[in-house]
Structure 1
Amino acid sequence: MPRPRLNTEKALAESRSFGHKYVPLLRPLGWLARGWRDLWTCPLPSLLHGVLSAVFGLLLLWWARDRFWLLAGAFSGFLLVAPVVATGLYAISRDIERRRKPGFDSVRRAWRPDNGRLVIFGMLLALAGTGWVLTSASLVTGFAPAPIDKPVDFLRHVVLSEHSLLFEAWLALGAVLAAPVFASSVVAIPLLLDHKVSVLAAVFTSWRVVMAYPAPVALWAALLMGLTLLGMVTAMLGLIVIVPWLGHASWHAYRDLVDTRGLPSTEP
């Protein structure tokens, strides 16, 4: 099958054309600071992303209120597909950076239907998220000593169980599945939005960034996960601010981690 091999080699060569910048360990804090500035530079479309995310979380919570075995995986799966949700936020930050007027039109242009690469990558992340939800539900329902219908059941029979390592296994499996997805997407979607590169090249670039700067990227992953969980435990209300904040900050992470000078832009 020579064609897949040729496509892979082409994508690898394409990803190697992107330079890397020096990124110190605590640079992710700077991404948060710049993301916070972008959020309040263009608050209405930014906060709308957060409101929609919070509403989705509340609907999911209501739907699965008696099925916590499903809910635990669904909320953690949200972290896998969040980079797609933030596509419009990347576009707003790009317009702010380039001294153009940001707004709802920035979001509309980011989601234009002719950009099939973003659709393909979004579908791949959705499949990964769905796979984790099903895996999580199977693990919890198959090995928990009692039905897991409510949060207190999950806490009592999974997290605090003294007779099994189910919670440790659940966390370990989630980390094993989430780590490659995060490594594949940490800069991929902003790169696809910003430049005419293939999906495979964007994924390879994300992996090169992770391998080049493991410590700052690990800190960034911890900040993303910690702040998102904080937004969830505040009855989803915290997501109204946290989702757009992290989305804008992720644009600045991409701009700091990847040097794309000289590459063809997606903009005319």
Structure 2
Amino acid sequence: MSQPNDAELEAAAALPFPTVRDVPFTAPISWVARAFGDLRACPVPSLFYGFCFAAMGLLITFVFEHAYEYTSALTSGFLLLGPFFAMGLYEISRRHERGENCALVPTLTVWKRNAGNIGIFAVVLGVVFLIWARASLVVFALFYSNEMPNLSGFLGQLMAFENIEFLLVYFGVGMVFAIIAFAVSVVSIPLMLDRNQDAISSMLASIAALTRNPAAMIVWALLIATLTIVGFLSFHLGLVVLMPVIGHATWYAYRDLIEPLPAKPAKTAA
């Protein structure tokens, strides 16, 4: 991997802190609608990432079918890392927006555009994931009073609201980690891909977008949760379509939430 030259480092340092805009609480609905447009325009690369998400979810479920305390931690942790794995979908939307060819191959290595800062962000989400995975196991050990079931048995207990104390603690702890991951990732990777923004400024801008637009962010989080749950209830097969929709919609969230950089003035001949 090539190291950035002095000109690239100076350009990154000269970037202003992203300006966060106000959006209406209904904005996430338009993001999802525009995301379906990207999915129709670029079906092959979008569905490729959707199949990858679904395959990973199915693999986790299959491997840990009789140890669901690990499955739940890994599956929910996988969602914490979703913004990192969805980089290719952001790039598809970026290229489609610019009228460029939305081929799959260029999106596979898009992380190289700002590898250092994307790596820092990946480490942050990775640490959140590891802490959550450990916390999930602790909650199971302390509050799960029944014999560990297989997948179908676990889902049956959830639907019947059995072991309510465990459910309240588990989802309460999970909500804390989900809010942390959501807060730092609302627009982080799109900023790093589109502007070569540094990781710290990108995460701070994401937190600012959340605090400045709480109503819209609550609607957006609920939409993400709803689409994800629908995907899980179809035993991950729905994720083939729904994860690309979430990824593309995240790009449009970035476009609406962050003020574009001013156009550079054209150079005039001396």
TM range, smaller chain:
0.7 to 0.9
In 1: Cα distance, 2:15 partner to 2:208 partner: 8
Name the CA distance, whole Å, in 2 between partners of 1:14 and 1:74.
39
Superposed, 1:119-158 pairs within 5 Å as: 119-151=119-151, 152-153=153-154, 155-156=156-157
Counterpart in 1 of 2:3? none
**What displacement does 1:143 show?**
2.2
Matched with 1:102 is 102
> 1:145-179: CA deviations, max 9, x gaps?
123232424754997346x6221111111111221
What letter matches 1:187 in structure 2? Answer: V
Q: What residue ranges of structure 1 are gaps of 5+ in the alignment?
A: 1-12
Provide the C-alpha distance between the structure 1 equivalents of 2:64 and 2:126, rounded to a whole number of angstroms: 19
Evaluate the alpha carbon distance shift between residue 15 and residue 102 of structure 1 in structure 2; reply closer, same or farther with a 3 A threshold.
same
With 118-127 and 45-54 compared, the bigger mean Cα shift is at 118-127
Alpha-carbon contact 2:113-2:193 (below 8 Å) kept: no
Is 2:231–2:239's contact at 8 Å kept on the other side of the alignment?
Answer: yes
Q: Partners in 2 of 1:222 and 1:157 — Cα distance?
A: 19
Q: Which amino acid aligns with 2:201?
A: A
Preserved contact between residue 46 and residue 244 of structure 2 (Cα < 8 Å) = yes
Q: Deviations over 1:189-208 (max 9, x none)?
A: 11111112211111110011
Show the counterpart of 2:170. Answer: 170
Please say if residues 114 and 193 of structure 2, whose CA atoms lie closer than 8 Å, have aligned partners that are also in contact: no
Give the superposition deviation at 1:65. 0.1
What percent of counterpart residues are identical? 31
Aligned residues between the structures:
251
Contact 2:45 2:103 in 1 (8 A): yes
2:161 corresponds in structure 1 to 160
Q: Using the alignment, how far apart are the partners of 1:178 and 1:126 within structure 2?
A: 13
Residues 134 and 232 of structure 1: is their aligned pair in 2 closer, same or farther, counting only changes over 3 Å? same
State the partner residue of 1:227: 227
Contact map agreement 2:92 2:102 (CA 8 A) in 1 = yes
1:2-39 CA distances to partner (integer Å, 9 max, x unpaired)? xxxxxxxxxxx999732233311111010001110001
TM-score scaled by structure 1?
0.86
In the superposition, relative to structure 1, how do residues 157 and 260 fare at CA in structure 2: closer, same or farther (>3 Å)? closer
SS across alignment from 1:217: helix
Deviation at 1:127, TM superposition (A): 2.3
2:243 is the alignment partner of 1:243: yes
- Report the Cα offset of residue 110 of structure 1: 1.0
Contact preservation (8 Å) 2:17, 2:201: no
Change (3 A) 1:108 1:71: closer
Distance 2:15 2:25 in 1: 23
Question: How far did 1:213 drift?
Answer: 0.3
Pair 73,158 (structure 1): closer, same or farther in 2 beyond 3 Å: farther
Whole-angstrom distance in 1 between the partners of 2:107 and 2:114: 14
For the residues of structure 1 that align with 2:138 and 2:86, how far apart are their CA atoms? 29
Distance 1:132 1:36, change over 3 A: same
Match of 1:9 in 2: none
Aligned Cα root-mean-square deviation (Å): 2.4
Where in structure 2 are the equivalents of 1:15-164 lying within 5 Å? 17-112=17-112, 115-151=115-151, 152-153=153-154, 155-156=156-157, 160-161=161-162
The alignment's TM-score, normalised by the length of structure 2, stands at 0.85
Q: Which amino acid aligns with 1:241?
A: V
> SS of the residue aligned with 2:112?
coil
Distance 2:263 2:87 in 1: 20
Partner Cα separation in structure 1 for residue 85 and residue 238 of structure 2: 16
